[in-house]
């Protein structure tokens, strides 16, 4: 008899010693230079807006508390599968 679980079947992360593969080196490349000037300006303006919103949330204790609660829930969910 197969035990039914909630949601999709998920394999736990973490390989056994026999299946552990050597990590592949990855070069992180900034793609900012490949964008046209107008896109770079739009991206910078959007980044500024994001930073301003983050500051607003940090200064609003109720919003920050709510955001931390959601983060805690997400971390607990990830711990179940990792």
- Domain assignment of residue 25, yes or no: no
C-alpha span between 19 and 17 (Å, rounded): 6
Going 51 to 53 to 55 to 58, the CA torsion angle's sign is negative
Domains identified in the chain, total number? 1
Q: What is the pLDDT of residue 80?
A: 93
Please state, rounded to an integer, the average pLDDT across all residues of the chain. Answer: 82
- Domain assignment of residue 22, yes or no: no
User: Could you report the per-residue pLDDT of 30-66, keeping only the tens digit for each?
Assistant: 766 677 888 999 999 999 999 999 999 999 999 999 9
Q: Show the CA angle centred on residue 69, arms to residues 49 and 75, nearest 5°.
A: 95
- Domain assignment of residue 19, yes or no: no
- Domain assignment of residue 61, yes or no: yes
Average pLDDT over residues 10-14: 60
Q: Give yes or no for a contact between 55 and 47, defined as CB atoms under 8 angstroms apart.
A: no
pTM (two decimals): 0.49
pLDDT at position 73 over 60: yes
Q: What is the pLDDT of residue 26?
A: 79
- Domain assignment of residue 46, yes or no: yes
- Domain assignment of residue 48, yes or no: yes
């Amino acid at each position: 008899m197969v035990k039914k679980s909630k949601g999709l079947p998920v394999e736990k992360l973490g390989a056994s010693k026999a299946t552990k593969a050597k990590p592949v080196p990855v070069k992180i490349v900034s793609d900012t230079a490949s964008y046209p000037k107008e896109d770079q300006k739009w991206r910078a303006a959007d980044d500024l807006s994001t930073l301003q919103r983050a500051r607003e949330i940090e200064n609003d204790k109720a919003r920050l508390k709510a955001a931390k609660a959601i983060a805690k829930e997400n971390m607990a969910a990830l711990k179940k599968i990792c």
